[in-house]
Amino acid sequence: MRFTTTDTSPDGVVERDFTVGDVPGVLWSPPTPSDRAPLVLMAHGGGQHKRAPGILGRARRFAADCGFHVAALDAPGHGDRPRTAADEQHVAALRRAQAAGEPIGPVVVGLHLDLAARAVPEWRATLDALRDVTGGPVGFWGIMQGTGIGVPLVAAEPRIAAAVFGCLGHETLTDAAARITVPVEFLLQWDDELVARQSGLALFDAFASKEKTLHANAGGHADVPRFEVDSAVRFFTRHLGGALPPPA
């Protein structure tokens, strides 16, 4: 692991670019991290990257308000990483489905399988590399494509103690979900135009976790309410430790 640049935001959050092998990532850390500060792995959505607005906002919030470290990677074929011919084909198929107003579930199955096969080892190598920097418990946050990668990752990686998933269905993920026993918070958009409701409910049902909570909100695929960020903060604070922020 190699840290390349370091920046400090006005709220004191330290932001470091790094590479693990040839995978670029970002680590956000609180101004004065505790020895056992939790680490949250944050996986971006399809077509996005490690510094997409949704990642950046949550990462800074988690670091500044809760004292968490947060790590994000560019997924294979995303952000600063080259696209393979297979990546290009997946993207083209996805765009065709979206343009035709078709459900993306069947199309993302192959894409997510391919991405997860490459991304899971990358995330595990990142966890190995970060062990010297962040010594605390580990959580995972990723919705949509982040769930397509995250469910196989959390199923395979015993160091991850709690996970937020959502906005994706059960296609190909049922078996991995059934191996997950850590606490899960699962987001579902009740009127999702891209993910069938029953498919999302089936994925939630598949988790073997004794503690799992489904948060289903009225609205479409992109309408996840802002208060779900607060909920994720409380979920990780319950399960990983750390301090709850003062009420906004």
Using the rule CB under 8 A, is 229 a contact of a copy of itself? no
Judged by CB under 8 A, the residue of 16, 110, 230, 241 near a copy of itself is 230
Nearest to 225 by CA among 54, 108, 45: 54
Using the rule CB under 8 A, is 227 a contact of a copy of itself? yes
Q: How far is the CB of 101 from a copy of itself (least distance, A)?
A: 22
Q: Which residue has 């699962």 as its token pair?
A: 186
Q: What is the biggest distance separating any 2 CA atoms in the chain, rounded to whole angstroms? A: 51
Q: How far is the CB of 217 from a copy of itself (least distance, A)?
A: 5
DSSP 104-137: SHHHHHHHHHHHHHHHHHHHHHHHHHHTTT--S-
**Alpha-carbon distance 17 to 198, whole Å?**
39
* Three-state secondary-structure class, residue 21: coil
Identity at 210, one-letter amino acid code: K
Q: How far is the CB of 244 from a copy of itself (least distance, A)?
A: 3
Q: How far is the CB of 146 from a copy of itself (least distance, A)?
A: 21
Binding residues for a copy of itself, rule CB under 8 A, total 26
Neighbours of 95 (CB within 10 A): 12
Using the rule CB under 8 A, is 134 a contact of a copy of itself? no
Q: How far is the CB of 213 from a copy of itself (least distance, A)?
A: 5
**Alpha-carbon distance 103 to 192, whole Å?**
10
Judged by CB under 8 A, the residue of 129, 225, 229, 241 near a copy of itself is 225
Of the candidate spans 3-11, 14-22, 126-134, 223-231, the one that interacts with a copy of itself by CB under 8 A turns out to be: 223-231
Using the rule CB under 8 A, is 81 a contact of a copy of itself? no
Map the footprint of a copy of itself across residues 182-221, applying CB under 8 A: 190, 201, 204-205, 209-218
Residue 224 region by backbone torsions, left for phi larger than 0, else alpha for psi between -120 and 50, else beta: beta
Using the rule CB under 8 A, is 3 a contact of a copy of itself? no
Nearest to 241 by CA among 162, 156, 131: 162
Binding site for a copy of itself (CB under 8 A): 190, 201, 204-205, 209-218, 225, 227, 230-231, 234, 238, 243-248
